[in-house]
Amino acid sequence: MTYKIFAIIVPLMIKIYTSPSCSSCRKVKKWFKEQEIPYVEKNIFAATLNENDLKEMLIKSENGTEDIISTKSKVVKESGVDLDKMTIKELIEFIRNNPSALKRPIMVDDNKIQVGYNPDDITVFIPQAKRIAKWACESCPELDSCDHKQNEVD
């Protein structure tokens, strides 16, 4: 008896938190477009940030506020807040009222978070099937007509 196994590949929803004047944000969006990886852009100044989105950032960040909040930002310095003494609720409210305190860009998918543009680190957002196809094709003598490249799964 022969069994066929079918895999359903569901792309992860990638959210990119940006600001209009941020050059690193433009680089990140350009990179995602070049890689043909879909994303949702969220301008941190266009609307009040969603509480759940901020909780997700904090949960996924390795070092909590240190990873996502710029302690050098004008708003953090001038407000004199002690981020370490804030409750999660107070912190989220502070960020919602002062989005410029966030580092930018912030990229989040279902599993991970990355802050800032780093051309080496951002490759973790390339879908696994695409990474495997690229790896398989790199050593292929017929790279342009390779079956792996033509059957690449987005």
Q: Which residues are catalytic?
A: 22
Separation of alpha carbons 24 and 49, rounded Å: 20
Instruction: Specify which residues 73 forms β-bridges with.
Output: none
44-70 core/surface letters (b: 16 or more CB in 10 A; e: else): beeeebeeebbeebbebbeeebebbbe
Amino acid making up residue 82: D
Phi-psi region of 137 (alpha: psi -120 to 50; beta: other; left: phi over 0): alpha
Place of tokens 């949960």: 59
